[in-house]
Structure 1
Amino acid sequence: MASYSFRQTSSSVAGGPGALRYSGSFRAPSIHGGSGGRGVSVSSARFVSSGLGGGYGGGYGGGSFSSSFSYGGGLGGDGLLSGNEKATMQSLNDRLASYLEKVRALEEANSDLETKIRNWYQKQGPSPARDYSPYFKTIEDLRDKILDATIDNARIVLQIDNARLAADDFKTKFETEQGLRMSVEADINGLRRVLDELTLSRADLELQIEGLKEELAYLKKNHEEELSALRGQVAGQVSVELDSAPGIDLAKILADMRDQYENMAEKNRKDAEAWFHSKTEELNREVAVNTEQLQSSKSEVTDLRRTLQGLEIELQSQLSMKAGLEANLRDTEGRYCAQLAQIQALITSVEEQLGELRCDMERQNQEYKMLMDIKSRLEQEIATYRQLLEGQDSQLTGLNPKDAFGRGLRSGAEDDGKSTSTRDRRF
């Protein structure tokens, strides 16, 4: 019996995150014929597969392919595939079917995930279905309130500045009036000292007048005594010499002296009274004028003090109002900052979820592409093996043993060359 066998081993190619390792042995059909028989027994090829599997991670490893072709004389049965080889093919088909089922399930899961991602984008994205128009009015009202509060705050600040300027002006006027008041009080004190001096001078003059009056009374009394004494002397004397020279008229002299002194005293008294009255009137006029000025200054100072107190009260009220508005503004800013921080955190979390979804989608797309690549390669391998089996079976059934042996050998070699070139091109 003549036999021929050959073995072919394919290379391994790595690819992607998945790995598929395929190895097997293929045995060509053998024909046996006996010397005295006319029947031809053709045994089917044996295809043994091992190590078919897929996973995420690793590489795509090609298997080893071995085939043997034998030819011998003799008669045998008519079966193309033995029971063990049929079980092997059935197991391979079952594995391929389960693998294709897994691929189909992964495609469905991928489509479901794409649908979920699309729905999530539609929900999270700016959808025209959501109506924010009810919030626009609230936002506009809040903006108007904030603008009104800002305007009121600016107006209050302006009023406070005006009140501060007015207070500074009133303070300047008050200081000026206080200086004038102090100067007027100093003048009044000076006039009071002058009045005291005039009062002392008046008292002195009155004392002088009293002394002059006493002296005048004393002189009058002495004059009367001297006059009475002279009258007594004149009455007691007798004129002896008739031709004597006329005597001195003492009475006339005394009367003249008395008149002269009385005129001088009256004149001094009148002059003193006139001077005293003029000075008194002048001082009274000055005191009245200064008193009026003092009263007007006091009333003006009282009015200014009352105005200053009112302005201080108004300033305190405006300051308290300003503090309240500033507190409200701080509360509003803090509330809006907290809301903005919450919205920013929500946006950040949504962006993180979106990034995770994108990463998952890219990873699943890569896995899907890898699985589709593995599926296409497996389908090509199965189609190649099926063509080899069908071609060799058809050639062996229509030829005599010698031709079948020669053509089977050539076809096996050609098919092995084609499969090798096909695998070389594919891998």
Structure 2
Amino acid sequence: MNLFKESDNSNKPKPGAGTAPLAARMRPRSLDDIIGQDHILGRGKLLRRAIEADRISSIILYGPPGCGKTSLAEVIALATDRRFERTSGVLANVAILRKILQAAETWKKIHKQDTILFIDEIHRFNKSQQDVLLPYVENGDIILIGATTHNPFFFINTPLNSRSQIFQLNPLSQESIKEVLRRALEHPAGLNELVTVDEEALDHLANVCEGDARRSLNALEIAALTTPPDEDGIVRLTKHEIEESVQKKAVSYDHDEDEHYDTISAFIKSVRGSDPDAAVYWLAKMIYAGEDPRFIARRLVILASEDIGNADPRGLTLATSAMQAVEFVGMPEGRIILAQATTYLACAPKSNASYLAIDTALADVENGRTLPVPKHLRDGHYKGAKELGHSGYQYAHNGKGHFVDQEYVPTDKVYYTPTDQGYEETIGKRLAFWKSLRKKRT
């Protein structure tokens, strides 16, 4: 009897029990199981229509880790009447590829059935490997589904891109991650309601996993397997256990409320105030908390014009380059690019003269009388322009020092007043020289 009792106890389900990791057990099995990506899989969207109509063609799925590229490929295979083969850009060489492709060609001839070839990390294939795929894609012997975390327009051959439809998948939102986690907690193939997670812990896990569903499920599984159950056999997870499982402490940072706006405000004001140490601290807090690096980069581009301007014109070039580089490289390496841009802009001379100039001019246009364009500046490239008096413009490059004294706007109001900071000091001297030339004429 004791043996039977022990057997009964040993057969009780355990959190995380299963032959496969939780993330694998919770893979979607149908389109309706996929959480997020409504921009391509929502009702009526092109990709969903093609899958449901079984009219799928070769596609490239492009997006960050854990956004569902592999899951979507498997769902497509299940939802369509296709044979499914998979390989990886890490594992396959030309010989392996040819073997798979020839088998697909033979299968189609014998069974009259197409093969979906899913290639994970397709960006790792070199040009010759990608070229091997081309005739089979072109002839319809395979339907290619490539998955990549890298921009396919940079890392995949143009001929292969042109024969495929490219769909970009986005990082999952925090709400979508929480939905994935709740499903895993409740589903019989998941944790089967033997684990509970309080809302604060769920919020933290959804936040720190930065849109990566696989990472969130792995962290949940580790926490469930390493936390002892209570007397009822239920594992109860709090933020403490979740922090331990992801090895990342919680930072007070809500992405759409006060802490978000307060932190970016402190960051911008620190750069404007020429304090690189403070600026880097606030930058580190935002990166650690999972702030969108593109949001930070966009704010730096604005600051480069608003607060530095012509005191250091290179600031705008560097900030724009940083924004493009962060988009191209991604995280975590993008943090280095953001730090370089932040420290450069914080240490640059400051001027808001351009910002003040455009706002003052806009106010005049909005509130004052609209000034007419002087006749000699009007378009004179048409028949009859001279008769209307639209002539007399003097080409500046023909003047001494490439300067000609003529009226460019019928007002003496000054909008742009350069400061004595950085390069604007040189600009100020140049404007003063031109002003002296105008005074001589009058």
Task: Answer yes or no: same fold by TM over 0.5.
Answer: no
Larger Rg computed on CA atoms: 1
TM-score of the superposed pair, with normalisation by structure 2: 0.16
Bigger proportion of residues as helix: 1
Q: Higher RCO, 1 or 2 (CA under 8 Å, sep at least 6)?
A: 1
TM-score of the superposed pair, with normalisation by structure 1: 0.17
